[in-house]
C-alpha cells in the first residue's frame, strides 16, 4: 500500500472517528519497517520474489534485491565500487579489476565485490577466473540469481549443457518469473529431448 493511500485512510479515519481502520491499515507498514537488518530485508524480498508470478513486479523486486546487495556497509568500499564503475564506463578494465581486488581484500564477505569481479572476468574472456569468483559469490549468497545466470552462460559456452540446465533450474527456484531464464531452460530441455530421440 502506498504511503499516500495510508495517509488518506489515516485522515479519513480521524475525521470519521474510525481508529480501528487506521490501526489495521498501518500494521503492515510498521511490520515492514521493523525489518532493519540487511539480512531481514533480503529474506523478505526473496520470499516475495519466489511468490511473484508477474514478470514486471518480479523485476521490481529483483531490482530492490540488487540495491541491497550493492551496499557493502562500508563507506570506503562503496566509494571503491563507484570508482570501479567509472573505470568500466571509461573502458579501463585493468583499473577496474585492480579496484575490485582491493574491495575483496578489504571486505571478503561483500558479495557484490566478488560478483562484479566475476562479471568483469567474464567480459574479458577469463572464464575460469569468472567461475572461481562466481563460486565465492554463491558461497556467501546461494540465492544470487545473477551469479547463477553467469554460471549457466559459462557452462553453456563450454558445452556443459546438463550443468547449465541445473544452474537455470536453481535460478528459477529463486526467481521463477524471469522469462529469459525460462527460455534458456526451455531451450536446454528441448535440446536434451532432441538428443534422446
pTM of the shown model: 0.80
| CA dist., res. 126 & res. 96, Å (int) | 15
Kindly give the confidence (pLDDT) of every residue in the chain, 197 residues in length, as a single tens digit, with 9 standing for 90 and above: 333 333 222 323 333 333 333 333 333 443 444 668 999 999 999 999 999 999 999 999 999 999 999 999 999 999 999 999 999 999 999 999 999 999 999 999 999 999 999 999 999 999 999 999 999 999 999 999 999 999 999 999 999 999 999 999 999 999 999 999 999 999 999 988 877 65
Q: Quote the cell numbers at residue 193.
A: 529431448
| CA dist., res. 44 & res. 42, Å (int) | 5
Domain boundaries, the chain: 1-34, 36-196
Q: Quote the cell numbers at residue 32.
A: 515492514
Q: How many CB atoms lie within 10 A of CB 62?
A: 21
Per-residue pLDDT, 196: 65
Per-residue pLDDT, 14: 31
| CA dist., res. 84 & res. 98, Å (int) | 9
Q: Quote the cell numbers at residue 59.
A: 523485476
Per-residue pLDDT, 193: 83
Q: Which of 168, 32, 154, 98 has the alpha carbon at shortest distance from 116?
A: 98
Q: Which fold has domain 36-196?
A: 1.25.40
| CA dist., res. 185 & res. 187, Å (int) | 5
Angle (CA) 123 60 46, round 5°: 85
Per-residue pLDDT, 120: 98
Amino acid at each position: 500500500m502506498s504511503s499516500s493511500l495510508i495517509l488518506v485512510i489515516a485522515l479519513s479515519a480521524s475525521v470519521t472517528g474510525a481508529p480501528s481502520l487506521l490501526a489495521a491499515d498501518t500494521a503492515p507498514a510498521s511490520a515492514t519497517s521493523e525489518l532493519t537488518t540487511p539480512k531481514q530485508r533480503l529474506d523478505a524480498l526473496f520470499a516475495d520474489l519466489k511468490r511473484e508470478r508477474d514478470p514486471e513486479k518480479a523485476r521490481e523486486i529483483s531490482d530492490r534485491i540488487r540495491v541491497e546487495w550493492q551496499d557493502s556497509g562500508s563507506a570506503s568500499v562503496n566509494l571503491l565500487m563507484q570508482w570501479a564503475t567509472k573505470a568500466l564506463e571509461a573502458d579501463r578494465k585493468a583499473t577496474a579489476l585492480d579496484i575490485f581486488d582491493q574491495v575483496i581484500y578489504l571486505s571478503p564477505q561483500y558479495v557484490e565485490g566478488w560478483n562484479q569481479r566475476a562479471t568483469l572476468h567474464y567480459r574479458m574472456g577469463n572464464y575460469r577466473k569468472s567461475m572461481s569468483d562466481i563460486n565465492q559469490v554463491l558461497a556467501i549468497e546461494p540465492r544470487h540469481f545473477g551469479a547463477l545466470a553467469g554460471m549457466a552462460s559459462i557452462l553453456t559456452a563450454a558445452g556443459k549443457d546438463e550443468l547449465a540446465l541445473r544452474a537455470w533450474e536453481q535460478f528459477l527456484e529463486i526467481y521463477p518469473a524471469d522469462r529469459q531464464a525460462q527460455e534458456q531452460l526451455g531451450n536446454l530441455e528441448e535440446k536434451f529431448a532432441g538428443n534422446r530421440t
